[in-house]
A = this chain, B = another copy of it.
Amino acid sequence: MIAFGRVTDPLEPVLRFIDDQRTRFVDDLVTWCKIPSISSSDAHRADVRRSAEHLRERLAALGATTTAILDTKLHPATYAEWMVDPNKPTLLIYGHHDVQPIDPIAEWHSPPFEPAIRDGRLWGRGVVDDKGQVFIHVNAIEAFLKAKGSLPINLKMIVEGEEEIGSVNLDDLLREHSERLKADFVVVSDTAMFGRGIPSLCVGLRGIAYFDVTLRALSMDAHSGSFGGGLVNPANALAKMIASLHDENGKITVPGFYDKVRTLTTEERAEIASLPFDEAAWLASVGASAATGERGYSTLERLWTRPTLDANGLNSGWQGAGSKTIIPAWAKAKISCRLVPDQDPTEIAALVEKHLVSIAPPGCRAEVHYLHGGRPYLAPTEHPVFEVAKRAFSRAFGRPTVFIREGGSIPFVRTIADRTGKPCLLMGFGQPDENAHAPNEWLDLENYHLGIKSAVFLYDELARL
């Protein structure tokens, strides 16, 4: 029999299986999400373990050649692998099975651990962060195995239980199991898409350097009548120091601050400019009335590709109701810098500290404590795997995949990228307003469905890389 006008897609049975099992795939996720695996709560320690074990059993049932519970000092990770052919590429999938706390519980419209479907969404704790995204891969694996009998590449999956408490033992875990976790590529599905229906690969994260700054002037608060005007006021002085850290163009004035900042390429700027950024909605989400920032850059460029220096807190003198007529003994600020490639937090810390100490006025002493830092991240997008991933994602969603970045830092991404040394694909299926860490977390069920297909296309494309 001849098929007229139609080339049979070898993935068609897999895709059909996904369509057929659409409802059951949601049911399976609901079952897992009923386990309250809150990693920050001692009371839920057994639940986190039960969650890891539930996943391990599921993966074992899917014919994983190896499954294991990987213990850490606190919450266990689940591991599984399907070794098909040593000559084929190996993909390591990262996810996490622990979830955020549920407070304030009164604000949930349905019980957080009784996931419910409303308006095309599944509502419950962990449905998108990150159990739903883990199950996108679990279901893709099942679909391949049930519809085709085998996987096109070697797969390894590590699903940790401590992401919501800062992946505190992830580095140890990756080091301890480094042989077992060897792979050619890594895919992380724990981020959000740029917007609904827009397949997005996150290729950049800002780093951070965070400081505690104290400007000391007096040994005690002084009477503002008896001393005001005659000696330095550290609150006035700290304000002046902070004000001096930006010039009239919004550029940071710390000497050497921009030395290692990569200049955006024309292509990068064009790609960012092409995104349907809804600035009004972004502003409205925090009640802001105006977008401002460094001159010469768009809002997205400022958020994703330019470093910042922000006072995160100010603290001096009298803050209660009414008045207290004092010259404060000291003034403090929390100051942090978001960093971009190739800034190094330790180098920036040294520059900022040196500069702040140097601009403290006579009569004041600046003490700067570097609290913590994290390096910025930029994916090696010249590697062909990024084109492959873009294509796979686009095939599922029927729309071009975009490269996006994230203004914040995701510590575990740096950990994984650094520890594995392999290209790391941040292929996330969440939505920017999915309430991941708030009451009423939700998963878009269409995204879930198309996510499974995206994973199928990704495995398939990688096999041919």
- Which residues of A does B touch, CB under 8 Å? 206, 208, 210, 212, 217-220, 222-233, 235-236, 238-246, 282-283, 286-294, 299, 302-303, 306-308, 310-319, 322-329, 331-334, 336, 338, 361-363, 371-372, 406-409
Docked CA distance A447–B142 (Å): 97
Docked CA distance A290–B362 (Å): 7
Secondary structure dominating the interface of A: mixed
Chain B contacts of A307 at CB under 8 A?
229
Chain B contacts of A308 at CB under 8 A?
224, 228-229
User: Which 3 residue pairs of A and B lie closest in terms of their CB atoms, listed nearest first?
Assistant: A225-B408, A219-B287, A290-B363
Cβ-defined contact, A218 with B288, below 8 A: yes
Cβ-defined contact, A288 with B236, below 8 A: no
Chain B contacts of A406 at CB under 8 A?
225-226
* Given known contacts A334-B318, A334-B319, A310 and B228 CB-to-CB distance under 8 angstroms: yes
Chain B contacts of A306 at CB under 8 A?
229
- Output the least CB separation between A409 and chain B (Å): 6
- Output the least CB separation between A299 and chain B (Å): 5
Cβ-defined contact, A287 with B228, below 8 A: no
Cβ-defined contact, A409 with B313, below 8 A: no
Other-chain contact of A239, B218, B282, B314, B409 (Cβ < 8 Å): B314
Chain B contacts of A232 at CB under 8 A?
288, 290, 292
Cβ-defined contact, B372 with A292, below 8 A: no
* Given known contacts A287-B220, A293-B231, A406-B225, A313 and B319 CB-to-CB distance under 8 angstroms: yes
Using CB atoms, name the residue of chain B closest to A303.
B230
- Output the least CB separation between A386 and chain B (Å): 23
Using CB atoms, name the residue of chain B closest to A279.
B230
Docked CA distance A246–B233 (Å): 12
Other-chain contact of A312, B293, B324, B409 (Cβ < 8 Å): B324
Cβ-defined contact, A319 with B338, below 8 A: no
Known: A231-B293, A310-B327; 13 extra A-B contacts, CB below 8 A, are A218-B286, A224-B310, A224-B408, A225-B408, A228-B310, A229-B310, A230-B303, A231-B283, A233-B311, A239-B242, A311-B317, A313-B316, A313-B326
* Given known contacts A226-B408, A292-B362, A311 and B303 CB-to-CB distance under 8 angstroms: no
Chain B contacts of A241 at CB under 8 A?
239
Cβ-defined contact, B219 with A293, below 8 A: no
Docked CA distance A24–B109 (Å): 81
Using CB atoms, name the residue of chain B closest to A331.
B314
Docked CA distance A44–B229 (Å): 38
- Output the least CB separation between A279 and chain B (Å): 9
Cβ-defined contact, B303 with A312, below 8 A: no
Chain B contacts of A314 at CB under 8 A?
235, 238-239, 314-317, 319, 331
Interface centre among A223, A230, A329, A409, by most chain B C-beta atoms within 10 angstroms, is A230
Docked CA distance A290–B232 (Å): 8
Cβ-defined contact, A235 with B313, below 8 A: yes
- Output the least CB separation between A9 and chain B (Å): 39
Docked CA distance A241–B326 (Å): 20
Chain B contacts of A372 at CB under 8 A?
323
Docked CA distance A291–B232 (Å): 7
Q: Can you report 17 residue pairs joining A to B where beta carbons are below 8 Å apart?
A: A206-B225, A218-B286, A224-B308, A224-B312, A227-B286, A227-B303, A229-B303, A230-B291, A230-B292, A231-B288, A231-B292, A232-B292, A235-B314, A312-B325, A312-B326, A322-B371, A323-B336
- Output the least CB separation between A417 and chain B (Å): 17
Using CB atoms, name the residue of chain B closest to A288.
B231
Cβ-defined contact, A292 with B361, below 8 A: yes
Using CB atoms, name the residue of chain B closest to A432.
B226
Other-chain contact of A238, B224, B239, B318 (Cβ < 8 Å): B239
- Output the least CB separation between A127 and chain B (Å): 21
Cβ-defined contact, B408 with A311, below 8 A: no
Chain B contacts of A324 at CB under 8 A?
312-313, 334
- Output the least CB separation between A206 and chain B (Å): 6
